[in-house]
Amino acid sequence: MSTRTRKQLGLAALAALIVTLTAATTQEPTSLKEAYKGAFVVGAAINAAQITGQDRRGDAIIGEQFDSISPENVLKWERVHPEPVTYAFDLPDQYVAFGEKHHMFIVGHCLVWHSQVPAWVFRDDKGNFVDRDTLLKRMHDHIQTVVGRYKGRIQSWDVVNEALNEDGTLRQSPWLKIIGEDYIEKAFQYAHEADPQAQLTYNDYSLENEAKRNGALALIKKLKAEGVPVTSVGIQGHDGLQWPSVENEDATISAFAKLGVKVVISELDIDVLPQATKQQTADVSMKVGQDPKLNPYANGLPQSVQEELAKRYADLFGVYLKHRDVVTRVTLWGVTDADSWRNDWPVKGRTSYPLLFDRSGQPKLAFQAVIRVGANTKTE
Ligand code: 9MR
């Protein structure tokens, strides 16, 4: 082969390579993590079947689509620390190993909450409330043991979960009643001691409602002023088709950002079913009786509602992207519609459609819409 032919072949190969690369870079991303790369990580809350590999279809979606995971239940106090001297680390260990295998940003959820805490935590042998020092010690030991075990491996902890009432005052939980208001700062201090590098979040729902938002803003402001190591606010994002408005979400993120904390959308799902509660809430204790009117899509979601959901998801992701300088993570609360807690709350046994993948694991219109919002921003 002459030198000239060799050169021509070399140039042709180079041209082919350029064409391939150009095609690859102009193609729409196929995963959420790719679509939002450089903006924020996109996570999913995962359940025991996914952690242990029993849900293979779910695991394939998680591995392909997400670059962060949250434990839907396995790190809650009653699961990980059911008895005073018994810790159950088997599932949490597998959870962390799952995230590491996929090189994910791993979240811990949650340390101090009023729900899913065993009764013994607050009581003595006679069944009476323990005193402040005893409860502080129990809280300290729990946080030290759980956060310490995953030091440097779980990158972010939901330290205090849902401490506020809807009117912005502090919830009268046993934590507050026994320890007093400073239980919140103590929890953050203990978590920081156990892993000084971990991001530490105050996490709550309905923060878009004015009274609750003001309560949360006042709380974060006070914690920051006292030097408490709170790094982010988790806006859970158990949303509906109408609530919160795009303007409201925008204003809520801005208000927290002004306080110098990062914002995470920590538990996103969008309900299309008729609202069964008067108030916009995600209070797990809420229960409403079954009524066919509250379950209108038991046999499938009409196309028009799929489209409405897709637009709604796109609008909200547009807001998150606008705030990409402070929003560090957006986590969906589940993988497919079949996994969602929304099927059983506040009414048991409804057929709900709040996520981006349908019951058979197929991407929904909402998925495409979310991908497009991320991809368009990249090419702007
Ligand atoms: O999705 C979780 C569901 O499986 C549990 O039964 C429920 C009860 O504690 O908790 C759900 O997750 C909640 C989260 O931990 C905190 N914010 C509200 C979430 C939805 O209820």
Q: What is the pLDDT of residue 2?
A: 55
Confidence of residue 378 (pLDDT cuts 50, 70, 90): low
- Chain segment 87-139, per-residue pLDDT in tens: 999 999 999 999 999 999 999 999 999 999 999 999 999 999 999 999 999 99
- Provide the pLDDT confidence category of residue 8 given band limits of 50, 70 and 90: low
Output the CA 72–ligand 1 centroid distance in Å: 7
In degrees rounded to 5, what are phi and psi of residue 234?
-100, 110
**What residues does ligand 1 touch, defined as CB less than 6 Å away?**
72-73, 115-116, 161, 236, 267, 282, 284, 341
- Burial of residue 325, with CB atoms counted within 10 A of its CB: 0-12 exposed, 13-18 middle, 19 or more buried: exposed
Examine residue 110 and say whether the peptide bond preceding it is cis (omega within 30 degrees of 0): yes
Annotate 172-196 with b (16+ C-beta within 10 A) or e (fewer): ebbbbebbeeebbbbbbbbbbebbe
Q: What is the pLDDT of residue 7?
A: 57
Residues 40-272+330-337: name the CATH superfamily.
Answer: Glycosidases (3.20.20.80)
Whether 18 has a pLDDT exceeding 80, the answer reads: no
Give catalytic residues, as residue numbers: 162, 267
- C-beta neighbour count of 271 within 10 angstroms: 21
Best probe residue, ligand 1, of 50, 69, 73, 114 (max atoms within 8 Å of C-beta): 73
Mean pLDDT of 354-371: 98
- Strand residue runs (E) in 66-197: 68-71, 105-112, 156-161
pLDDT greater at residue 10 or residue 352 = 352
- Euclidean distance between CA atoms 109 and 76, whole angstroms: 6
Would you state the pLDDT for residue 22? 47
pLDDT over 70 (residue 10): no
More confident call, 324 vs 281: 324
Model confidence band, residue 339 (pLDDT cutoffs 50, 70, 90): very high
Per-residue model confidence as pLDDT tens digits over 151-173:
999 999 999 999 999 999 999 99
Provide the phi-psi class of 270: left if phi over 0, else alpha when psi is between -120 and 50, else beta: beta
Residue 23, pLDDT > 70, answer no
| Domain residue ranges of the chain, discontinuous segments joined by + | 40-272+330-337
pTM score of the predicted model = 0.92
| pLDDT confidence band for 275 (50 / 70 / 90) | confident
State which of 46, 80, 107, 284 you would mutate to test the pocket of ligand 1, scoring each by most atoms of that ligand within 8 A of its C-beta: 284
Reported confidence tier of residue 345, pLDDT bands at 50, 70, 90: confident
Cα–Cα distance measured from residue 116 to residue 81, given in angstroms and rounded to the nearest whole number: 11
- Mean per-residue pLDDT for 134-147? 98
- What mean pLDDT is reported for the chain? 93
